[in-house]
Structure formats: structure tokens, C-alpha cells
Amino acid sequence: MAGPRPVVLSGPSGAGKSTLLKKLMKEYDSVFGFSVSHTTRNPRPGEENGKDYHYVTREVMQARIDNGEFIENAVFSGNMYGTSKAAVQDVQAKNLICILDIDMQGVRNIKRTDLSPIYISIQPPSMAVLEKRLRDRKTESEESLQKRLHAAKVDMEFSKEPGMFDVIIINEDLEDAYGKLKETLIEEINKVKKVGMSS
């Protein structure tokens, strides 16, 4: 059964992916479902196990990867992250648009699957703004922050590779960026709404 097309949101840490996707899921709660990834990083204050991530040990994560439970997995800033098959299937079973928040290794690996999502890159207006947002978020140690800034430089170059993303959104003003995101997805949103009304 071909459900709605999934959506991949990628881009540097601190670019605003979570902020934008939370806004989208709040406005369209019966349209989108989040693919809850697994990670070995520690939960941040306010994050919930099973909602933001499935928080697991390295041993558990590696065993599940070896068991073939993941569509893709990557190491980012020293921690393991991965999208399980179940995470995507749970959303697709409800006929919702599945949103994946993944790094650029994830994007490369998803391109080798038959998931066929819409690829959206969220980019900051500049490195300076990105650094300020990450510092103001107050979630990272100096070491983690530096690793994220380094990865961001690589990501910003990667996003320019032709054909990598369907749309690149510069998140300067949040409302403008959100408007562009909605505009990109409106066709898929309307399809899901129509199916919902007729069932």
C-alpha cells in the first residue's frame, strides 16, 4: 500500500529542524507523525523517552543494528543515531506523513532505500547565527558545541550538492521559514486531509 510520501528534514544541528517540525506537528497533528529515532546520547531536560528519541545504550543499539532492525544509522558527534524500520512503519500504518529528522549520513543512506521521501534541508543564515543559537539553547557542553559547529560546516557544503535536496530553506525569520516549509508540503498535506475526510 502506497501511503503519503515521507519527509526528511536535515541540516546542521541548531538550524531549527526540531522547532519547525514541532510547529508543523502542532498545526497538523492528524497529518504528520514523527519517526522516533534511537540514540545513545543522554536525554536533555524536557525530552521524553519514546517521544523525542528512544534512549538506549551502545550495546542495545549495536545489537539491534546487527539484528537488521534499522533502515539507516550513523555516528554524529560521538553518539549513535538510527531510524528503525518500526519507527517509520508505526507512522505509515496510521496513514500519516512520516517526518524523519536525520543528519547528512542518514540522507545519503535513505537515498539507497525505496522510502522515496521529499528531502528538505534547513539551513541557518550564517555560521555566526548558528553558533549563537546553539549557545543560547544551552543544551551542549563546549566540546559538544565545537563538534556540532564542525559538522555544520561540512553539512552546509553538502547541502549545496546538486540533487541532494528538493528544497533548501534558510531559517532566518522563523515564521518565514515555517511558511516556506508549509508551502513545500501543502500538496501532500491536502492529500492526507482528503483521505481523512472520506474515511
Ligand X SMILES: Nc1ncnc2c1ncn2[C@@H]1O[C@H](COP(=O)(O)OP(=O)(O)O)[C@@H](O)[C@H]1O
Partner in contact with 72, chosen from ligand X, ligand GDP, none, beta carbon below 5 to 8 Å by kind: ligand GDP
| Percent of the chain that is helix, strand, coil (3-state, to 5) | 45, 20, 35
Compare residues 23 and 191 and give the one whose CB is closer to ligand GDP: 23
Alpha carbon distance 28, 22 (integer Å): 10
What DSSP designation does 101 have? E
Give 147's Cβ-side CA count (13 Å radius): 10
Compare residues 40 and 180 and give the one whose CB is closer to ligand GDP: 40
Please pick, from the candidates 14, 33, 82, 117, the single residue that binds ligand X as defined by CB under 6 A: 14
Catalytic residue at 64? no
Please pick, from the candidates 6, 7, 10, 13, the single residue that binds ligand X as defined by CB under 6 A: 13
Please pick, from the candidates 108, 137, 147, 182, the single residue that binds ligand X as defined by CB under 6 A: 137
Q: Where are the alpha helices (DSSP H) in 93-126?
A: 104-110
C-alpha closest to that of 19 among 97, 134, 131, 104 = 134
Q: In the range 138-197, which residues lie near ligand GDP by CB under 6 A?
A: 148
Q: Are 18 and 101 in contact (CB under 8 A)?
A: yes
DSSP 157-192: HHTTSTTS-SEEEE-SSHHHHHHHHHHHHHHHHHHH
Catalytic residue at 108? no
Catalytic residue at 44? yes
Alpha carbon distance 192, 165 (integer Å): 23
Q: Which stretch binds ligand GDP (CB under 6 A): 20-28, 57-65, 68-76, 161-169?
A: 68-76
Contact residues for ligand GDP, defined by CB under 6 A: 13-14, 18, 37, 41, 72, 74, 76, 81-83, 101-103, 105-106, 148
Residues that are catalytic: 44, 137, 148
Contact residues for ligand X, defined by CB under 6 A: 13-19, 133, 136-137, 171, 173-174, 177
